């Protein structure tokens, strides 16, 4: 029970990697808040794991403030924050991506990390402890063509993670990132453009271990980084990618 008595928020927890992380955290003893813009999905996962569902639009300051306030009201504190919610644009030449799609990717993937830090860091500083796990991507390390602005957003997350880690370390707060490769999540079709056996084979050919990242893979990795077992680890971007970035 590596997260016994910890209080954790997982954004985008209603499906995909977020659901895998929420399940693992609950299995390891954490009280888990499943936050998602799709509240019915969040409620389904929360009911399954004995957690609490909260509707949250991570790109909205007011919504993030409400998410944090509701969590503190229910549990008294936040020990672990997992910034998992993310979106992508469809594959296309960089100059053809619409301004609306660009703004959405940056708001959900990047601005959300700032908005959430603004709300949770002061309390973590007062407590003298805390763990933040940001879900970045192998796209931020080894970009794929035609996903340019998504790639850039995940590179931003990796740099933000390191900057946060350096600044917050004196306060006992650790900040790390995870870099998954494409996985069996609702975003997979968006990454590939189309979900066909041929496109899957093309993607899998770039992964030495020959399979996609799974929600269970991400849950295991996030649990380690969030736990006291990783008490000397901060500022890393752990690749959970089957060798994709080698």
Active site residues: 150
Over the Cα atoms of the chain, what is R_g? 17
Closest by Cα among 176, 223, 234 to 3: 223
Handedness of CA 92, 96, 101, 106 (dihedral sign): positive
Closest by Cα among 16, 161, 158, 130 to 68: 130
Please give the distance of CA 106 from its chain centroid, rounded to a whole number. Answer: 14
């Amino acid at each position: 029970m590596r997260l016994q008595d910890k209080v954790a928020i997982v954004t985008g927890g209603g499906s995909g990697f977020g659901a895998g992380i929420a399940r693992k955290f609950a299995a390891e003893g954490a009280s888990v808040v499943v936050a998602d813009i799709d509240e019915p999905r969040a409620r389904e996962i929360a009911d399954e794991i004995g957690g609490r569902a909260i509707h949250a639009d991570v790109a909205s300051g007011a919504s993030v403030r409400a998410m944090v306030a509701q969590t503190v009201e229910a549990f008294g504190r936040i020990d672990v924050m997992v910034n998992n919610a993310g979106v992508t644009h469809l594959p296309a030449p960089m100059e053809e991506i619409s301004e609306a799609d660009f703004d959405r990717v940056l708001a959900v993937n990047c601005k959300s990390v700032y908005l959430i830090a603004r709300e949770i860091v002061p309390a973590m500083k007062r407590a003298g402890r805390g763990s933040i796990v940001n879900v970045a991507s192998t796209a931020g390390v080894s970009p794929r063509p035609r996903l340019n602005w998504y790639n850039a957003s995940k590179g931003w997350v990796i740099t933000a993670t390191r900057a946060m880690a350096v600044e917050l370390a004196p306060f006992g707060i650790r900040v790390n990132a995870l870099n998954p490769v494409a996985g069996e999540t609702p975003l997979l079709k968006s990454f590939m453009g189309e979900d066909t056996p041929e496109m899957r084979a093309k993607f899998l050919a770039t992964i030495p271990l020959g399979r996609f990242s799974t929600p269970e893979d991400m849950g295991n990795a996030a649990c380690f980084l969030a736990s006291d077992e990783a008490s000397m680890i901060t500022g890393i971007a752990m690749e959970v990618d089957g060798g994709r970035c080698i």
